[in-house]
């Protein structure tokens, strides 16, 4: 848990949720991508969009609230595409 808490934007509560979702390291977040990790968390916990910004900020080592708007838009587009893909898989 300490490894996760060493990341920018990740406190004890977020680290516990990440561990509960099987995420144990920055490398896993980087390999899976912030959107995939966010989707995994969202299946298990009530998380807000701030969690997505926090995950991406952790990878970039910047505060979540300083994430550029164009990057937020890119993440939202990726999130919508992933959600649509999941919905298509349920049909």
Q: What is the DSSP string of 29-65?
A: HHHH-HHHHHHHHHHHS---HHHHHHHHHHHHTS-GG
Boundaries of domain holding 16: 2-90
Domain count, the chain: 1
Q: What is the pLDDT of residue 91?
A: 58
- Report the CATH number that the domain containing residue 70 is assigned in CATH: 1.10.150.20
41-91 pLDDT per residue, tens = 999 999 999 999 999 999 999 999 999 999 999 999 999 999 888 777 765
Q: Distance between CA atoms of 67 and 24, rounded to whole angstroms?
A: 23
Helix H or strand E segment including 73 = helix 69-90
């Amino acid at each position: 848990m300490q490894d996760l808490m060493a990341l920018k934007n990740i406190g004890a509560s977020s680290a516990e949720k990440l561990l509960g979702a099987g995420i144990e390291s920055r490398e896993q977040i980087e390999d899976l991508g912030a959107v995939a990790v966010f989707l995994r968390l969202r299946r298990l916990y009530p998380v807000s969009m701030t969690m997505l910004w926090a995950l991406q900020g952790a990878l970039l080592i910047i505060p979540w609230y300083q994430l550029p708007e164009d990057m937020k838009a890119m993440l939202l587009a990726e999130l919508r595409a992933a959600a649509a893909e999941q919905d298509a898989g349920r049909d």
